[in-house]
Structure 1
Amino acid sequence: MNRSSFPRRIGRRALCALALAAAGGAALAAPSASWPQRPIRLIVPYGPGGSSDVIARALAGEMSKSLGQSVFVDNKAGGQGTIAMLEAARATPDGYTVVLGHVGTLAVNPAMMAKLPYDPARDFAPVALLTRVPMLFAVGPRDRSATLPAFIAEAKAVPGRLNYGSAGNGSAGHLAFEMLKLRAGIDVTHVPYKGTGAQMTDLLAGTIEAASAGLPGFLPHVKAGRLRILAVGAAARLPAIPDVPTVAELGYPGFESSQWFGLLAPAGTPAPIVERLYQEAVKALGTPAVVHRLAEDSSTPTPLGPQEFARFIVAEQKRWGEVVRSARLTAD
């Protein structure tokens, strides 16, 4: 299967397959009325410390209280999220294994990887969309741009000379900046790093001029006067940085680039368990502890149920697939 045909095939059958999975499709056995009877593993496709880990642990803590069984986080980093997703896809569909899905693993990887080891449509039962984390665009001390229009003008004046960093090839920051490049018509060179921390080190050192990431990675350095956030990729300004405009405000209407996170179970998980997981996840999102923790990261709860989440995934595959193909991006 070649790279260009995979996303189109996903698009034609994804909605139907995801809807079947969301309804619990082909359950192996009727769920026990007393579920859960033992701890539930929440697999996270990335390492500790990032937005995915923060969201997973906040959610797991509250769901554990409500379910009466421990929901424990199991970080399985590597392979742009494919290691964790494949393990979750192969797990017994009994409600005791779930995975934190992400824009990268569900919408970007299908477009970037010619041989994706899992099928987002066939292998999972969507449970709930949980939250979104907007992407921001910032410059370090080496770049003197005070505004996004000034940075774009500088990039147009010296095509290919400016560099921007991301947490890795195919990461949310990578895709966000490529979307900006397409909309603004600029040529800025991508420098992939192994994680947000390494990217931030070089941005602060002036090795790269710009980067895109979520607010938590940038904010301490912004407060210290070492970085400057030029624009917010969300549809609206963020309460934590109300003076920073959105990309859309600055002449690119409709621009929206956010990471999003959702809960999935292996395909075949019984529909009543999927529904219970959805209800418990939404309940956890509404607790003061989770609301406060997510607000610290400018993460906005945006709960959607199984079928709505299924449709959302398909729409995001189309949107990010267009960015991947237009920018001619490929996996490492």
Structure 2
Amino acid sequence: MNTPQPQRFLRSFSRVALRRLGAPLAVLMMAAGLGAAHAARDWEPQRPIRLIVPYGPGGSSDVIARALAVEMGQSLGQTVFVDNKAGGQGAIAMQDAARAAPDGYTIVLGHVGTLAVNPAMMPRLPYDPLKDFAPVALLTKVPMLFAVGPADSSTSLAQFVARAKAAPGQLNYGSAGNGSAGHLAFEMLKLAAGINVTHVPYKGTGAQMTDLLAGNIDAAAAGLPGFLPHVKAGKLRILAVGAAQRLPAIPDVPTVAESGYPGFESSQWFGLLVPAKTPAAVVERLHAEAVKALQSASVRRRLEEDSSTPAPLGPKDFSAFIVAEQKRWGEVVRHARLSAN
């Protein structure tokens, strides 16, 4: 194919110019390149940024996103507004984020459910957690706690496991719904301990907690905020913490790992992602701002109220973390034969 006349002229002109101008031109071109790179590193948003949350207002995802949005917005000099898009176990919001322009003005709050569990539970997932997004930062982990109500006499995880093994399938546990964090946490415990405990799904945490307090179910797994008031009132007993370390709010409660299951960890986790092909400079700037926000006093205080532990990871490490979590939770889903229905 013949090269168009204008292109041949430009190439010829460039060769002549380079020969005549030599080093001075090279210096100028290098300076221009460095200037462009510097400008990219200093990316500054020119309009508000949308932070999509795949769940409704009021939950841990929403709390974390709103606390982060305030701090990041102040530092970036632009409003970061939270857009709650619940439904489809987070798939609706993730699909929306995946289709957004890769320009830094759309961020999504990823979650263990949307990034690691859904791929195993939903064969027709309308987004690809690995191909459709560029990870920005892992933010925080919220450990799951295992508790029993008045229907169960266990005072330790070992006692609960012994009771379950003595009566396979007769003990039960509740969750906020099929595929919820509490459901998956208990299924992981069943797999680790080799026990058969019947799952009772509810439509939300409130209904589950009502039946647990009433003695209609034996046990449940949830975050500390939902359990703590009832523990203080003497109505519930927390048997173990799903985190790698004990929680400062309940230092006397051992971890599941300490209770005989080394390496066990069951936590909800949250992180920021942007659409794939977002420029690396934009990803780096957003990562720096997210980490800076996590270190602020207001965000730390809000996370502590939820017993949420900051666990910042950069883009590459967060990407590897997602892959590892998909493998880990995929095994739980397959073993328990869970599905999105």
TM-score, normalisation: structure 1: 0.88
What SS does structure 1 have at the residue aligned with 2:91? helix
Match of residue 121 from structure 2: 112
Check the 8 A contact 1:112/1:324 in 2, yes or no.
yes
Match of residue 54 from structure 2: 45
Match of residue 172 from structure 2: 163
1:308 maps to which of 299, 307, 317 = 317
Shift of 1:121: 0.9
Q: Give the alignment's Cα RMSD to 1 decimal.
A: 1.5
Aligned residues: 303
Match of residue 247 from structure 2: 238
Matched, 1:286 2:295: yes
Matched, 1:94 2:71: no
Shift of 1:254: 1.0
Shift of 1:34: 5.8
Shift of 1:125: 0.7
Match of residue 307 from structure 2: 298
Match of residue 4 from structure 1: none
Shift of 1:46: 1.1
Match of residue 140 from structure 2: 131
Deviation digits for residues 141-199 of structure 1 (CA, Å, limit 9, x no counterpart) = 22121111111111122211221111222222111100110111111111122322222
Check the 8 A contact 2:53/2:65 in 1, yes or no.
yes
Shift of 1:35: 3.0
Match of residue 188 from structure 1: 197
Deviation digits for residues 97-125 of structure 1 (CA, Å, limit 9, x no counterpart) = 11100011100111111111110011111
Check the 8 A contact 2:141/2:267 in 1, yes or no.
yes
Once the two structures are overlaid, the 10-residue window that deviates more, 122-131 or 156-165, is 156-165
Matched, 1:255 2:276: no
Code of the aligned partner of 2:159? A
Instruction: Give, in whole Å, the separation in 2 of the partners of 1:67 and 1:219.
Output: 36
Deviation digits for residues 53-106 of structure 1 (CA, Å, limit 9, x no counterpart) = 111111111111101111111111111111111111111111111110001110
Check the 8 A contact 1:31/1:94 in 2, yes or no.
no
What SS does structure 1 have at the residue aligned with 2:247? coil
Instruction: Give, in whole Å, the separation in 1 of the partners of 2:49 and 2:202.
Output: 33
Instruction: Give, in whole Å, the separation in 2 of the partners of 1:88 and 1:201.
Output: 36
Instruction: Give, in whole Å, the separation in 2 of the partners of 1:268 and 1:102.
Output: 21
Code of the aligned partner of 1:179? M
Instruction: Give, in whole Å, the separation in 2 of the partners of 1:329 and 1:193.
Output: 16
Instruction: Give, in whole Å, the separation in 2 of the partners of 1:47 and 1:295.
Output: 21
Deviation digits for residues 201-250 of structure 1 (CA, Å, limit 9, x no counterpart) = 22112221111011111111111111110100111111100010111111
Match of residue 322 from structure 1: 331
Matched, 1:200 2:209: yes
What SS does structure 1 have at the residue aligned with 2:174? strand
1:152 maps to which of 150, 161, 174 = 161
Instruction: Give, in whole Å, the separation in 2 of the partners of 1:245 and 1:87.
Output: 41
Shift of 1:31: 6.6
- Correspondence list, 1:191-230, <5 A: 191-230=200-239
Question: Which consecutive residues of structure 1, in runs of 5 or more, have no partner in the other structure?
Answer: 1-29
Match of residue 75 from structure 2: 66
Instruction: Give, in whole Å, the separation in 1 of the partners of 2:170 and 2:43.
Output: 61
Larger radius of gyration: 2
Matched, 1:266 2:271: no
Greater relative contact order, per chain length (Cα 8 Å cut-off, separation 6+): 1
Match of residue 24 from structure 1: none
Code of the aligned partner of 2:188? M
Code of the aligned partner of 1:207? N
What SS does structure 2 have at the residue aligned with 1:320? helix
Instruction: Give, in whole Å, the separation in 2 of the partners of 1:95 and 1:234.
Output: 33
What SS does structure 1 have at the residue aligned with 2:75? helix
What SS does structure 1 have at the residue aligned with 2:238? strand
Code of the aligned partner of 1:139? V
Shift of 1:326: 1.7
What SS does structure 2 have at the residue aligned with 1:170? coil
Code of the aligned partner of 2:290? A
Shift of 1:32: 10
Instruction: Give, in whole Å, the separation in 1 of the partners of 2:119 and 2:43.
Output: 37
- Percent identity of the aligned residues? 81
User: Cα gap change, 1:73/1:153 in structure 2, threshold over 3 Å: closer, same or farther?
Assistant: same
